[in-house]
Amino acid sequence: MVAKIEWGKIGELLWVAPVAALVVSLTFSLLVLGSARAGEARRDGAGGVAALYGVLAVVAGLAFLGGVVYGVSVITTK
């Protein structure tokens, strides 16, 4: 029995994996940044800035979770 190599899928993997890793890393980094800066801004009494950083943290958190859920769904259906 000889295995057939699907070069198109290997080529797709070579660009999809780094892009996915970059997106997941970036969204998680923005989540951490937004959370940390929101706390600092609240302590400094800058409520408006704290709210903006809080929104950044929530949006980045949702994007991160969406990426993880999408990744798991791709893994389980292939």
pTM: 0.81
pLDDT at position 43, please?
95
pLDDT of residue 2: 80
CB 55 within 8 A of CB 41: no
Q: What is the pLDDT along the chain (78 residues), one digit of tens a residue?
A: 788 888 998 998 899 999 999 999 999 999 999 999 999 999 999 999 999 999 999 999 999 999 999 999 988 997
Q: Determine the Cα–Cα distance for residues 65 and 17; give it in Å rounded to an integer.
A: 17
Residues in the chain: 78
List alpha helices for the chain, DSSP H. Answer: 7-43, 47-77
